[in-house]
């Protein structure tokens, strides 16, 4: 066993952050270095860990012990690479009935110039409007601001009678969140924040201009496909489909009577979303499901394998096509779709999706991190990279900041959580 490295020396202002992607097929961890004397640079990866996970089904914890073991092993590997010990982690939530809604709140300004105190009042009023019921809020972030009905990027300094704000709220079922929280804490880690997977992946693969013009991110995981719609530069809707690339693997295993491990390999090496003429003549060898002596591998045309892949992709993108209009992704701004996640690595999947959805489609891979190893540079690690970027941005969140509604009644002081919230909001704008 390799001995742990001594703690890594950091410059003044630097801090380390640990992020954790708990998925259906794998658990991956990153330790990144933020801040420092350089300031403003991309987060730098200093530790990576990854383990196969057999304890999660459709993005939900199904076996607590196996999930905890995978989390512990992945983080331990990242700690050894980085030479630091992880404490609290940012962890993703990819299932649990992800749901989004937009709440609108307005306050009277009375014609005067909008100041920080007005922003504090607006934030507190927005916090008071959030009612998740029996669900749990993952994010509640300001999406759009309006001054007398006109959308503006930063309302501070404008004269107005009314100041409004749209709040994008992402919620999930409470039991799955508690189960994931327990699995992570059982590995002797604290949970700093849970982040919806599509929100994290969006940060890693979408360009700002795409968000401004309108784009839908489709993250194809092993057990769940998540959709995130962006309009006018903001995340405005999320949805999930309980289907993913793992279903393609299972379909191949069933169709050709082989083990899932063999089916995964066949999908990776020979799978595709579009057939070519030569695929009808190219034969591939399929290992048998049995270990008995005398059982020979079968040989099938590659086109037959691709047919199995296409059938599942038809079902998956049919569900995506149904969800997109429900999330408001329609009309002239609904032209661009970005695929990511492990399922986006299937050959020609972007062309297939473009033909079925009738939109421009590309595959998005993570960017914005320095030192990310090539092995973690593919679309399958978009959520992991996005979690690191989420931690680096430290975006204002109305719900998790625990702003008291009574704060709106008085002036905002220079100290305290509300002023910190306003300062963070202004810096993000």
Tokens of residue 79, six digits: 């700690």
pTM: 0.87
Beta carbons of 57 and 94 less than 8 angstroms apart = no
Kindly give the pairing relationship between strand 26-35 and strand 44-52.
antiparallel
Residue 154 maps to a domain: yes
Q: Which residues of the chain have pLDDT under 70?
A: 1-12, 36-40, 401-429
At 267-294, the pLDDT tens digits run 999 999 999 999 999 999 999 998 777 7
CA distance 420 to 414: 8
Which range marks the domain in which residue 130 is found? 99-170+400-408
CA distance 398 to 425: 10
Residue 142 maps to a domain: yes
Residue 369 maps to a domain: no
DSSP 5: P
Residue 113 maps to a domain: yes
Residue 134 maps to a domain: yes
Tokens of residue 135, six digits: 């669900």
> Which pLDDT does position 100 carry in this prediction?
85
> Which pLDDT does position 78 carry in this prediction?
96
At 196-237, the pLDDT tens digits run 999 999 999 999 999 999 999 999 999 999 999 998 888 888
Residue 271 maps to a domain: no
**Ramachandran area for residue 320 (φ above 0: left; ψ -120 to 50: alpha; else beta):** alpha
Residue 112 maps to a domain: yes
CA distance 1 to 278: 49
The total domain count for the chain is: 1
> Which pLDDT does position 9 carry in this prediction?
45
> Which pLDDT does position 112 carry in this prediction?
93
Residue 161 maps to a domain: yes
Which contacts of 185-189 are long-range, i.e. CB under 8 A and separated by 24 or more positions?
186/64, 186/68, 187/68, 187/71, 187/72, 187/75, 188/72, 189/18, 189/20, 189/71, 189/75, 189/86, 189/87, 189/88, 189/89
Beta bridge partners of 193: 90
CATH number at residue 157: 3.30.1490.110
> Which pLDDT does position 1 carry in this prediction?
37
> Which pLDDT does position 403 carry in this prediction?
47
């Amino acid at each position: 066993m390799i001995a742990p490295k001594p703690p890594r020396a950091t410059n003044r202002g630097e801090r380390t952050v640990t992020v954790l992607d708990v998925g259906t097929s794998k658990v991956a961890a990153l330790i990144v270095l933020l801040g420092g004397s350089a300031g403003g640079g991309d987060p730098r990866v200093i530790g990576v860990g990854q383990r196969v996970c057999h304890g999660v089904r459709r993005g939900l914890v199904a076996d607590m012990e196996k999930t905890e073991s995978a989390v512990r092993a992945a983080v331990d590997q990242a700690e050894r690479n980085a030479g630091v010990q992880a404490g609290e982690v940012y962890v993703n939530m990819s299932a649990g009935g992800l749901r989004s809604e937009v709440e609108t709140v307005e306050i009277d300004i009375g014609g005067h110039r909008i100041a920080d105190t007005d922003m504090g009042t607006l934030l507190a009023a927005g916090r008071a409007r959030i009612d998740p019921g029996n669900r749990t809020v993952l994010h509640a972030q300001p999406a759009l601001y309006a001054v007398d009905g006109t959308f503006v990027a930063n309302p501070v300094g404008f004269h107005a009678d009314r100041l409004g704000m749209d709040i994008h709220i992402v919620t999930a079922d409470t039991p799955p969140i508690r189960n994931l929280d327990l699995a992570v804490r059982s590995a002797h880690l604290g949970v700093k924040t849970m982040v919806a997977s599509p929100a994290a992946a969006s940060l890693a693969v979408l360009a700002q201009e795409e968000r401004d013009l309108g784009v839908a991110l489709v993250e194809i995981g092993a057990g769940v496909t998540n959709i995130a719609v962006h309009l006018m530069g903001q995340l405005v809707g999320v949805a999930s489909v309980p289907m993913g690339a793992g279903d393609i693997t299972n379909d191949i295993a069933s169709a050709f009577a082989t083990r899932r491990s063999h089916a995964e390999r066949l999908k990776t090496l020979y799978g595709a979303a579009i057939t070519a003429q030569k695929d009808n003549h190219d034969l591939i060898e399929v290992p048998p499901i049995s270990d008995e002596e005398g059982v020979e591998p079968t040989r099938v045309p590659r086109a037959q394998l691709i047919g199995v892949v296409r059938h599942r992709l038809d079902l998956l993108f049919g569900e995506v096509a149904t969800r997109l209009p429900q999330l408001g992704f329609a009309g002239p701004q609904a032209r661009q779709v970005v695929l990511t996640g492990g399922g986006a690595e299937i050959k020609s999947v972007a062309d297939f999706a473009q033909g079925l959805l009738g939109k421009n489609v590309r595959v998005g891979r993570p960017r914005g991190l320095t030192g990310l190893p090539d092995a973690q540079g593919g679309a399958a690690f978009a959520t992991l990279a996005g979690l690191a970027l989420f931690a680096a941005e430290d975006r204002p969140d109305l719900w998790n900041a625990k702003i008291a509604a009574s704060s709106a009644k008085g002036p905002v002081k220079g100290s305290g959580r509300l002023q910190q919230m306003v300062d963070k909001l202004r810096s993000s704008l």
